[in-house]
Structure 1
Amino acid sequence: MSETSTRQLVYLSHLIIQIGSWAFRIGILIGLVQSGMSAAGLGVAVIFAPIIFGSLFLSPLVDRSDPITAMMIINAIRICALLAIFYTDGADAVLSYTAIAVLSLVQPVYVSAEVAFFRRITSKDGMISVLRNIANIDWVTYLLGMFAGAVLSDRLHLPGVLALNISAVWLSLMMLFGIKQRSKTVWSTPEPPSSGTILDLTPLYPTFFAVFLLNLGAGIINVYPAIRATARGVLDKDVLLTIVMINGLLALLGALAAKPVFNWLGALVTIAGAAVLLAACLGVMSLDAGLPMVIASSSAMLGFGQIFSAAAQTHMVSSVAPDRAARLSGLFQCCTCSGVAGNGIAFLLLGDRLPFGMIVLICAASAFLAFAVATFAVVRSGHSQVSGPVDH
């Protein structure tokens, strides 16, 4: 199988599995919100907290193995965890939380395996194109998966959503198995191997911290649509679907814009600019100014978030040799998800104590701190850029 064919099949596998994943996420979130705000906050924490462990301790293992094989093993684990949820009494049951934690634990390892695979066959200047393509797939599947998940949750409830996700994971597993059987060559870039440690990554520390702070604020988007779509304790699923669909469209536009903005401004300036614009959007989101403003501000926030994410991850992954790509992808995901998990914990603690608008305003302050840290990195680097001619 040619390198181009393999690359396209990995993209297609990612598309299929993400449709099921997004459908599952909206289905489980609807169930948790209907169980209460505390259940929703705990659910967000359970979804994102295990990703920290997986990112730090499991993702680096991919650098020592075949990425395709790693993705196949993870898909098999996912199927087992999803089947377990069928035997629960509801979304907030202990077994559900346990299965969600397992799914979250292996998620960063799967993503790191994908990034490691592409880094081995792509030059460092071409990684912005790869990560842009993955982000585009993520948000196209967000639209498809969220719609499917909302419809199935309304008509078939959680079991219908689970059936869709299991089918998607199984199909992805079969595609990866086909790639494994047909591919006889291991592709790698001609760059020399590296044996560096985390101590060699000091120049990236401000980026790590900025990613954490921004997601500590932006993580509120996990519950924001459901809360804004709830009036007098009743969730309006049509309003929720409207919010998440337009959110997804603007996020897709942000992902499409990431590459030209990155090439124009460079990594660090792009990171800083996207952070301050995202903080401004969160400030507007703190106002309960009606559905149009809710949709516009949250959608713009997600769009700027995609630009920030693509620039930050490209900057981190391209700063190291290919044999450390999975480790750096894991660190990026760790910073991202520790911020989001922290947001979930904060919401769990503050959700019943502070007005929702005040909580979102605190989130805006966290994102503005991310801008301050990124600005410090720009000044310290003398506006150095990692951008250059890129592969398509």
Structure 2
Amino acid sequence: MYLSFLIIQIGSWAFRVGILIGLLQSNMSAAGVGVAVIFAPITLGSLFLSPLVDRDDPLTVMMIVNAIRVCALLSIFCSIEINSFSTYVSIVVLSLVQPIYLSAQVSYFRRITPEDGMISVLGNITNIEWLTYLLGMFAAAMLVGPLRLPGVLALNITAALVSLIVLFVIRQHSRKAAGTFGKPPSGTILDLTPLYPALFAVFLLNLGAGIINIYPAIRATAGGGLDRRVLLAIVMTNGVFGLLGALSVKPIFEWLGALPTIAGAAALTSASLVAMSLDASLALVVASSSAMLGLSQIFAVSAHTYMVSSVAPDRAGRLSGLFQSCTYGGFAGNGILFSILGDELSFGLIVLMCAGSAFLGFGVATFAISRSTHCQISRTIER
């Protein structure tokens, strides 16, 4: 299962940076619109399609998603212009199915893993995400360009096909276990209402942290053209720190507990965004953005673990869908705001506004988790 995820993520990261840089070469607003087009459908897919995962075999769902990915990527590969209608339609399709895959994966692991083991599972998934970020971004930086985008697409198509084959093999060896996945889920999305404040905090933090989707490209094109060395310096160091953040989350979470880990990571993420807003040296650009990514990973894995572990296994797909909806909804909102304000305000001021959103997320997260903990203690005493 981890191998399949690793393969598909390499292609996905390469595709994402290739498309964004291709759009950025048109104008700043196009990059913001590109981020919105990539992440807004993920939000919708997370909200409306991910709950369906709890009704079927997660392995089958992931195989279907990979088949859809291949078809959508082939459509982009055959398009003459990157900025065409068919390209945007294919990007929307890819974005819609992404949360279904991730929710199916979380649902699969939640059904075979005890509650106290989910921090390890989600930590492993995040470790793979950042390892593949490094590999995918490096591949994209080497391949991307007006004449080389087909290479990025070919890499992603190959990754989706190989991942599909790996999942098929896993499913053939897991038919007995997979037969227990057909039970209908209990309850509705309203049963997750107590977690809504924490989910809102996730949205606010990612509304600020989402600037990282454009940040490396903006800094790498500050001189007028694409400086490949600057791009590599930023994305590779970002990836290393994102991976370090994911690797450190389990011991930190087990040492400090949910509230200090989540609240502390959110506050420090906001501080890192303040440093990112400064128009300073490349060293500060790399250090601040890398710290922000590492800390935001600690926040994300801790918050996801806290919420997924608090629901029944047959609701894990639904909860994971909501979590992704808030995460990518924040990213999409950041892209929309950047497309509106990118030509009106300085980049530093926009990043500072992002820091304010992340800090507000820190306040909401602290309140939500403190209230939840207090309610749990009160119910225990009443019993």
TM-score for the superposition, normalised by structure 2: 0.94
**Aligned-residue offset at 1:95:** 1.4
**Aligned-residue offset at 1:276:** 0.4
* Pair 1:242-2:242 in alignment: no
Counterpart of 2:261 (choices 258, 265, 270) is 270
- The residue number in structure 2 matching 1:121 is 112
- The residue number in structure 1 matching 2:380 is none
How far apart are the structure 1 equivalents of 2:55 and 2:89? Answer: 28
Q: How does 1:69-218 map to 2 (within 5 A)?
A: 69-154=60-145, 157-186=148-177, 195-218=186-209
- Note the residue ranges of structure 2 that are not aligned, 5 or more in a row: 378-383
* Pair 1:260-2:251 in alignment: yes
What is the root-mean-square deviation of aligned Cα atoms in Å?
A: 2.0
- The residue number in structure 2 matching 1:27 is 18
How far apart are the structure 2 equivalents of 1:138 and 1:62? Answer: 21
Aligned AA (2:33):
L
**Aligned-residue offset at 1:187:** 6.2
**Aligned-residue offset at 1:242:** 1.0
Quick one: structure 1 residues 129 and 384, their matched pair in 2 at CA, closer, same or farther if it must change by over 3 Å?
farther
- The residue number in structure 2 matching 1:7 is none
Q: Which SS does the other structure have where 2:126 is aligned? A: helix
- The residue number in structure 2 matching 1:310 is 301
* Pair 1:65-2:56 in alignment: yes
**Aligned-residue offset at 1:193:** 8.5
Quick one: structure 1 residues 125 and 188, their matched pair in 2 at CA, closer, same or farther if it must change by over 3 Å?
farther
Question: Is 2:198–2:369's contact at 8 Å kept on the other side of the alignment?
Answer: no
- The residue number in structure 2 matching 1:333 is 324
Aligned AA (1:291):
L
Q: Which SS does the other structure have where 2:232 is aligned? A: helix
How far apart are the structure 1 equivalents of 2:365 and 2:375? Answer: 13
Query: Per-residue displacement from partner, 1:103-123 (whole Å, max 9, x unpaired)?
Result: 000000000000011111001
Question: Is 2:274–2:352's contact at 8 Å kept on the other side of the alignment?
Answer: yes
Aligned AA (1:333):
Q
How far apart are the structure 2 equivalents of 1:146 and 1:385? Answer: 43
How far apart are the structure 2 equivalents of 1:135 and 1:382? Answer: 26
How far apart are the structure 2 equivalents of 1:13 and 1:273? Answer: 33
- The residue number in structure 2 matching 1:389 is none
- The residue number in structure 1 matching 2:350 is 359
How far apart are the structure 1 equivalents of 2:37 and 2:319? Answer: 23
Question: Is 2:57–2:179's contact at 8 Å kept on the other side of the alignment?
Answer: no
* Pair 1:344-2:335 in alignment: yes
More displaced stretch, 327-336 vs 315-324: 315-324
* Pair 1:291-2:282 in alignment: yes
Q: Which SS does the other structure have where 2:78 is aligned? A: coil
How far apart are the structure 1 equivalents of 2:3 and 2:246? Answer: 18
Moved over 3 A (4+): 381-386
More displaced stretch, 153-162 vs 137-146: 153-162
Q: Which SS does the other structure have where 2:177 is aligned? A: coil
Query: Per-residue displacement from partner, 1:56-99 (whole Å, max 9, x unpaired)?
Result: 11111110000000000000000000000022233322211111
How far apart are the structure 2 equivalents of 1:130 and 1:384? Answer: 27
- The residue number in structure 2 matching 1:4 is none
Query: Per-residue displacement from partner, 1:332-370 (whole Å, max 9, x unpaired)?
Result: 000101111000000000000000000000000000000
How far apart are the structure 2 equivalents of 1:137 and 1:219? Answer: 20
Quick one: structure 1 residues 385 and 97, their matched pair in 2 at CA, closer, same or farther if it must change by over 3 Å?
farther
Question: Is 1:50–1:101's contact at 8 Å kept on the other side of the alignment?
Answer: yes
Question: Is 1:18–1:142's contact at 8 Å kept on the other side of the alignment?
Answer: yes
Quick one: structure 1 residues 362 and 180, their matched pair in 2 at CA, closer, same or farther if it must change by over 3 Å?
same
Q: May I ask how many residue pairs the two structures share in their alignment?
A: 376
Quick one: structure 1 residues 268 and 205, their matched pair in 2 at CA, closer, same or farther if it must change by over 3 Å?
farther
Aligned AA (2:53):
V
Quick one: structure 1 residues 155 and 36, their matched pair in 2 at CA, closer, same or farther if it must change by over 3 Å?
closer
How far apart are the structure 1 equivalents of 2:320 and 2:14? Answer: 24
